[in-house]
Amino acid sequence: MKYYVNTKKQSNGDHEVHTEYCTYLPSIFNRKYLGEFSNCKDAVVEAKKTYSQSNGCKICSNSCHTS
């Protein structure tokens, strides 16, 4: 699965990680491609290399959603 991180932080400071098919996937101007991963945990680890406060999307990466 291809994963992206939102380059704009949420009101709580999180940068959300989304799959390519998520209904909440940010526009092409507000996302960074992370790569292909077999699970959201690895995608969040990758996102944290750029945005230390990264979190899985509640909809498409719920098992990685912590706040």
State the Cα–Cα distance between residues 16 and 37, nearest whole angstrom: 16
Domain boundaries, the chain: 2-64
- Positive or negative, the CA dihedral 21, 22, 25, 31 is negative
Nearest C-alpha neighbor of 64 from the set 1, 17, 25: 17
The backbone torsions φ and ψ at residue 10, rounded to the nearest 5 degrees and listed phi first, read: -75, 175
State the Cα–Cα distance between residues 24 and 40, nearest whole angstrom: 15
Is the pLDDT at 38 greater than 90, yes or no? yes
How much is the pTM?
0.94
Task: Tell me the pLDDT tens digit for each residue of 42-62.
Answer: 999 999 999 999 999 999 999
